[in-house]
Structure 1
Amino acid sequence: MTIQRYTLLQRLLHWLIALMVFGLLAAGFTFWSLGYEGTVGLFGEELTNMLYKIHKTFGILLLLLMIARIALRRVSPAPPHDPPLSGVERMVGGGIHLLLYALLIGLPIGGWLATAASGYPIQFFDLTLPGIIGENKELGATLFFYHGIGGLVVLGLVLVHTAAGLKHWRLKDGIMTRISLP
């Protein structure tokens, strides 16, 4: 068995994005389940506003990192599996990766649109970015609803992806070595 690995930059991006996704999901589900008033009641107004700003900032960073990851993947394709995966493993794993990539690009864009439509500032660190679309509170509420549903789907995909990673780690078949850091 010859173990081939992703490039160091690809591996770093994978784990950085994974950490960001966990943080974004935690904050997003807090906002979704408690709403603004509930979050203020739990954390106070200043910390709540900071959490929203951080969530927006890291959402935009996630979008940028995913674009970089896709560009890098075009230049440095995935290393071959040795031994090869079964057809079902390739299909399921490839499908999960494709859905994750699509959602990790679509969710930040959807959040940006929902925020703009709701009349809130698009914060990226201390900058305020353009809203892309005009204010429409009803549309904003609908987009935030679907943003939350997308977050639930990402959580499900991440759980399946993590379970598969643990399975391959336990099998010691080299899959986890491909993406592990040094």
Structure 2
Amino acid sequence: MATTNRYTFLQRLLHWLIALLVFGLLMAGLGFWALGYEGLKGLLGDEGVNTVYMLHKSFGILVLLLTILRLVLRFRTPPPAYDPPLGLIERLVGGGIHLLLYVFLIGLPIGGWIATAASGYPIQFFGMTLPGIIGENKELGEMMFTYHGIGGLIVAVLLLIHIAAGLKHWKLKDGIMTRISLP
């Protein structure tokens, strides 16, 4: 397939890097939900659980930054044409899923940042402490962590739809997957 029908290498690299990071963040979030703080503490100890939370916050902020970079690149370099063209329904559903993923990959880290700050915890980014977006408000923090978890579940569903569509196109061998593949 011609290179004009592919995203740039940097766009493709960012896609797969963000996908890997989001998968890890969702797995960690599932662990937080399933085990809770005390369960994680019993499994990993104080230092281990603090490291897991610090890494979750750090990688979440990294996803925010990489997603913003990906959007900037997308506006500077429009997506390649579909070859063969997609039907109207596929374009609408695919475009809607992509839009929702972008919204959530920006909104979830910001919501997590707000929840963390409101709960009185440090905003950690790989050893640095960043400023909180808002002041301490335990009730708001608890509510925001609930929304953060629900948002994570929504992202998981959106990703399942996105992956299913990718597998469909891969099975059809219609060339759509070459737009975003790395090699």
- TM-score normalised by L of structure 1: 0.98
Detail structure 1 runs of 4+ shifted over 2 Å in the superposition. none
- For 1:176, the equivalent position in structure 2 comes to 177
Shift of 1:2: 5.6
- For 2:16, the equivalent position in structure 1 comes to 15
1:60 aligns with 2:61: yes
Shift of 1:41: 1.3
Shift of 1:63: 0.4
Report how many residues are paired. Answer: 182
Q: Which amino acid aligns with 1:114?
A: A
Secondary structure class of the residue paired with 1:44: helix
Shift of 1:33: 2.2
Contact 1:11 1:180 in 2 (8 A): yes
- For 2:157, the equivalent position in structure 1 comes to 156
Q: Which amino acid aligns with 1:126?
A: G
Contact 1:81 1:175 in 2 (8 A): yes
Q: Which amino acid aligns with 2:12?
A: R
- TM-score normalised by L of structure 2: 0.97
User: What is the alpha-carbon distance in structure 1 between the residues aligned to residue 75 and residue 85 of structure 2?
Assistant: 21
Q: Where does the alignment leave 5 or more consecutive residues of structure 2 unmatched?
A: none
User: What is the alpha-carbon distance in structure 2 between the residues aligned to residue 84 and residue 46 of structure 1?
Assistant: 52
- For 1:70, the equivalent position in structure 2 comes to 71
Q: Which amino acid aligns with 2:74?
A: R
User: What is the alpha-carbon distance in structure 2 between the residues aligned to residue 63 and residue 40 of structure 1?
Assistant: 27
Q: Where does the alignment leave 5 or more consecutive residues of structure 1 unmatched?
A: none
Contact 1:60 1:124 in 2 (8 A): yes
User: What is the alpha-carbon distance in structure 2 between the residues aligned to residue 143 and residue 34 of structure 1?
Assistant: 19
RMSD of aligned residue pairs (Cα, Å):
1.0
Secondary structure class of the residue paired with 1:82: coil
- For 2:84, the equivalent position in structure 1 comes to 83
Same amino acid, percent of matched pairs: 72
Contact 1:2 1:82 in 2 (8 A): no
Shift of 1:82: 1.2
Secondary structure class of the residue paired with 1:29: helix
Secondary structure class of the residue paired with 1:77: coil
- For 2:43, the equivalent position in structure 1 comes to 42
